Amino acid sequence: MLSNQHNAPENSARNSPLLLIRLLLFSIVLVLGIVSIMASGGGGKDTYPVGGIEVFISGQGKVTGDGIDCPSDCRENYDFELGDEVDSLEKPMSANPYIDYRLDAAASSPSFSGEGEVISVESGDAISVTVVFVELNDDEGMPLELSVSVGGRVVADPGQRICDAETTASSCNHRVADAVVDSNITGRTLKRRTINLQAIPYSGYAFAGWQGDCSGSEAEQEHILGGPDDPMALSCSALFEAVPVADYTLSVPEPAEGGSIASISGAINCPGTCSASIPADTEVELFYNLDGGFQFGGWSGDTESCSGNGTSVTFTMTSDTTCSGSFIADSETLYTVSLTAPENGTVTSAGNELNCGTTCSHDFPESASPVTLTATPDTGYEFSSWGGDCASASTNMAELVLDGNKSCTVSFTVLDSDGDGVAENLDNCPVVANADQLDSDGDGAGDLCELTGTWDFRTEVTVATGGCSGEVGNSDNYTIDIDQNGQNVTLSGFLGVATNVLQGSVDGSTLLYSGSYPEDGGTTTQERTELTIDWNPPLSMSGTEQWSWTDGSSTCPSGNESEINATFRN
């Protein structure tokens, strides 16, 4: 059993049995060590285990130390050289809470009462250390505010906090644990908080720079919070701009031997010219030429059209593309891998030489063994099983050792997550069992997945402060009407200081809506507010509404949010 703490001996008399036991163990290990040295011919250092530390983490954070990097590596054993009289090791350990969390020293192990601790490990110890991180309240720690324009995301560490603005601008509010300060030396900071921010653009966008407390055009930023000369809060905005892509790069890996690859247009002639800039949406045709003593081994690449072993391949440039051809010496043995064309899915080889439905047979050289096949179901289906020479595979990936020709089959089954007997791709309400598929208003959404009606919204403001008119109080309820047409949703009712309308959509168990409305003389925007829908009657929704002020005439604070709970009233 692991021990959480060690008790120091009160006197030598009480400790003498322990010393005798340790001496006996040491003698046994020493004899075993000598025997080992004699058996191995001598040389090298011989050790016996001193003890170990195992860390258990609750909440979100990291614990590091000598050999410890938890949660990825949470256990370490420490060795002791024979002949050394030291029977105790001091192991410094450090606790680092993620953004939005702090160390709870009272709930952690007695041996770990602060973010920096030294744990004593004695011979034979097996020490268990529990480190508890708890979520910061809204009034704890230092504020971290992130704003992201359309076209990218910001990742904040420690903790991989992502502020996503792939399609609409986003604002994200976090808290950072207060700096650790030595209470005995006024004003001396022992440990400050280092925050790392990385701006990452999506395809078609480029990072344009930072605003606020962050500045410059470097995508990665590092900031220290909480010291005497450091900020006690951080507010940064990441800006992205659209970058139209006029050309894409076509790359053809140069064949080592056996032949060449060229394009009909002449832009590629490899070896020689193996890369070219091609205008977007241009159709490209590649063909091969063989050297004597070789045969063509097949096409492979990152586009489905670059597959098989035909004399040429044709595809359209919609992104940077790699397409290669392989050549096989006539003397090398070839084995045929074939599949029965599957229904409701596809099978591809690792290099895309085999892409079935389209190409369901390919000759692989023996040197390509093993060949990995991946089964991918169509929408509304899931992988079921392999057959033939792939029958031993238990997942959707099968490996074939090329010691002969191989033939495989694969099957996919219909998805029916709600278990009502209606296939997922045909179910008008896939998140709730409705075998009758009743759709009274004929809008394509089953009645059990229909949000249309009047809802009772209860909100609790968690951030907004001050005398901003129109804010919903902690105990206020109000009603809005929700009208659903297919997946599109319109919310109308008392929103802010007046009746207004927000637009949204339903995706599975999520209502996603956005819009804007005036409040306190300013303009408020809501972006990508998500409510989790409980479809089981009575229908309800819950989540966090976020809004920000875009008009400087408002006296309300920015970054407001409120918790929402809604219940269907009809």
In the numeric block, which tokens belong to residue 114? 């602060």
Read off the pLDDT band of 251 (50, 70, 90). Answer: very high
Structure confidence by residue, pLDDT tens digits, 389-428: 999 999 999 999 999 999 999 999 888 878 888 888 788 8
Buried b (16+ CB within 10 A) or exposed e, 145-173: bbbbbbbbbbbbebbebebbbeeebbbbb
- The mean-pLDDT minimum among 49-58, 190-199, 308-317, 492-501 falls in 492-501
Summarize the confidence of residues 475-502 as an average pLDDT.
Answer: 77
Fold (CATH) for 12-134: Immunoglobulin-like (2.60.40)
Q: Determine the Cα–Cα distance for residues 100 and 174; give it in Å rounded to an integer.
A: 6
- The mean-pLDDT minimum among 22-31, 113-122, 135-144, 304-313 falls in 22-31
The domains of the chain are located at 12-134, 142-242, 451-568
Summarize the confidence of residues 542-548 as an average pLDDT.
Answer: 79
Please report, rounded to a whole number, the percentage of residues in the chain having pLDDT higher than 70: 81
Q: Determine the Cα–Cα distance for residues 415 and 118; give it in Å rounded to an integer.
A: 53
Residues 6 or more apart in contact with residue 252 via CB below 8 angstroms: 261, 268, 270, 274, 275, 286, 322, 323, 324, 325
Question: What is the per-residue pLDDT for 31?
Answer: 36
In angstroms, the Cα distances linking 144 to 176, 232, 402 are: 7, 9, 56
Summarize the confidence of residues 434-449 as an average pLDDT.
Answer: 83
Fold (CATH) for 451-568: Lipocalin (2.40.128)
In the numeric block, which tokens belong to residue 104? 């709870």
Q: Minimal CA–CA distance to 209: which of 149, 268, 143, 269?
A: 149
Question: What is the per-residue pLDDT for 311?
Answer: 92
* 485 SS3 class: strand
* Residue, of 562 and 22, whose pLDDT is higher: 562
Read off the pLDDT band of 11 (50, 70, 90). Answer: very low
Q: Edge-to-edge, what's the strand order for the sheet holding 269-270?
A: 269-270, 259-263, 283-290, 312-316
Read off the pLDDT band of 7 (50, 70, 90). Answer: very low
* Residue, of 121 and 283, whose pLDDT is higher: 283
Q: Minimal CA–CA distance to 306: which of 366, 251, 246, 345?
A: 251
CA angle 415, 416, 419 (to 5 degrees): 155
Question: What is the per-residue pLDDT for 28?
Answer: 41
Burial of 507 (0-12, 13-18, 19+ CB in 10 A): exposed
pLDDT at 43 over 90: no
Q: Do domains 142-242 and 451-568 have the same CATH topology?
A: no
Summarize the confidence of residues 244-250 as an average pLDDT.
Answer: 85
Read off the pLDDT band of 521 (50, 70, 90). Answer: low
Question: What is the per-residue pLDDT for 350?
Answer: 83
pLDDT at 435 over 80: yes
In angstroms, the Cα distances linking 502 to 167, 364, 456 are: 17, 57, 16
Please report, rounded to a whole number, the percentage of residues in the chain having pLDDT higher than 90: 30
447 and 432 Cβ atoms separated by less than 8 Å:
no
CA atoms within 13 A on the CB side of 271: 7
- The mean-pLDDT minimum among 25-34, 132-141, 318-327 falls in 25-34
* Residue, of 53 and 443, whose pLDDT is higher: 53
In the numeric block, which tokens belong to residue 492? 């109308």
Question: What is the per-residue pLDDT for 157?
Answer: 92
Strand 498-507 and strand 488-495: the pairing is antiparallel
Residue type, 195: I
The mean pLDDT value of the chain amounts to 80
133 and 125 Cβ atoms separated by less than 8 Å:
no
Q: Determine the Cα–Cα distance for residues 80 and 48; give it in Å rounded to an integer.
A: 6
Maximum distance among all Cα pairs of the chain, rounded to whole angstroms: 93
* Residue, of 33 and 421, whose pLDDT is higher: 421
Summarize the confidence of residues 280-291 as an average pLDDT.
Answer: 93
Read off the pLDDT band of 155 (50, 70, 90). Answer: very high
pLDDT at 193 over 70: yes
pLDDT at 470 over 50: no
377 and 345 Cβ atoms separated by less than 8 Å:
yes
Structure confidence by residue, pLDDT tens digits, 93-147: 889 999 999 998 888 887 777 788 888 887 777 788 889 999 998 888 899 999 9
Question: What is the per-residue pLDDT for 122?
Answer: 77
pTM over 0.75: no
Question: What is the per-residue pLDDT for 422?
Answer: 87
Q: Determine the Cα–Cα distance for residues 248 and 167; give it in Å rounded to an integer.
A: 23
* Residue, of 3 and 255, whose pLDDT is higher: 255
φ and ψ at residue 137, rounded to 5 degrees: -75, 170
Tell me the CATH architecture of domain 142-242: Sandwich (2.60)
